[in-house]
Amino acid sequence: MGVTTANLKGNNVKRRSVLSSLGAFGLSLVTLPATGWAAAFSSKDATAALRAALDKGAEVAVSQLGANNGFLNNDKVRIGLPSPLDKAAPVLQAMGRGQQLQQLTESMNHAAEQAVSLARPLLRKAIQNMSVQDAAGILQGGDNAVTEYFARKTREPLTSQFQPVVNRSLEKLSVTQHYNDLAGKAQRFGLLQGQGGTLQDHVTNKALDALFMVIGEEERKIRQDPVGTGSALLKKVFGAL
């Protein structure tokens, strides 16, 4: 079947429309079919939908992890002993130190939940400051693009925010003393060859890992079932990706 001049002209108009839409996202060098997502929604819709997705993921993560026993009751995120101490745990338990190990584990997880509870302002700031270029990168990214954006924008400032909270929690609960006592005993038996960071660092990093993991889970739910979110905007944007 031959291609007419009218068909060629129509295709060119569609292509120009797509490229124009892509340009609004800073992606004019990317070639997509005219039926692709760029033709399905505006840059305003995309930015609003991404902010809604970010906000939903952040709210669920903070509410879930910041709840009482939010870490302890979740096998996926429960914070265990630092690796060197964990390896020494069987011997320490045999020495009658099992209760101290349990207290240490509980205290670390409660410290993490207290820290995560304070994450909302920084996460919301990252949402508000999302640029058109950020939105384009998320739309063109993989299944974890929203989560990666959050991690890139907030992990460092959240680390600074979490550490004082974790420090106060550990001191208040005497966890640092428990750790030093247990670690000292393990070292005397040659079971520790170095602690590999402070207890505070261990808890802070694990708390952040958990925060971004839960945000990632929410992102996957939105991408896999945008209709299930009950949001027409999320359905419109994520349903077209």
Each residue of 15-73: pLDDT tens digit?
343 334 433 333 332 333 334 545 566 777 777 878 888 888 899 999 999 999 999 99
Q: Is the pLDDT of residue 125 over 60?
A: yes
- Tens of pLDDT, residues 197-232: 678 888 999 999 999 999 999 888 877 777 776 676
Residue 89 has pLDDT above 80, yes or no: yes
| Residue 93 pLDDT > 50 | yes
Both 34 and 71 in a single domain? no
Q: Which of 36-45, 101-110, 128-137, 141-150 has the lowest mean pLDDT?
A: 36-45
Q: What is the pLDDT of residue 132?
A: 79
Residues 51, 17 within the same domain: no
Please say if the pLDDT value at position 95 is more than 50: yes
pTM: 0.74
Residues 33 and 54 in one domain: no
pLDDT at 20: 41
Q: Check whether 191 has a pLDDT greater than 70.
A: no
Looking at the fold, whether 89 and 201 belong to one and the same domain comes out as: yes
- The tally of domains found in the chain comes to 2
d(CA 137, CA 27): 9
Pair 97, 158 in one domain: yes
Judge if 93 and 191 occupy the same domain: yes
Residues 55 and 174 in one domain: yes
Task: Work out the mean pLDDT of the chain and round it to a whole number.
Answer: 77
pLDDT-wise least confident of 96-105, 153-162, 206-215: 96-105
pLDDT of residue 14: 40
Task: Write out the two tokens for 175.
Answer: 């966890």
Residue 212 and residue 66: Cα distance in Å, rounded? Answer: 13
Report whether pLDDT(114) > 90: yes
Domain, as residue range, for 2: 1-39
pLDDT band at 76 (very low <50, low <70, confident <90, very high): very high
The answer to whether residues 68 and 124 belong to one domain is: yes
Same-domain status, 32 and 72: no
Query: pLDDT tier at 241 (50, 70, 90 boundaries)?
Result: low
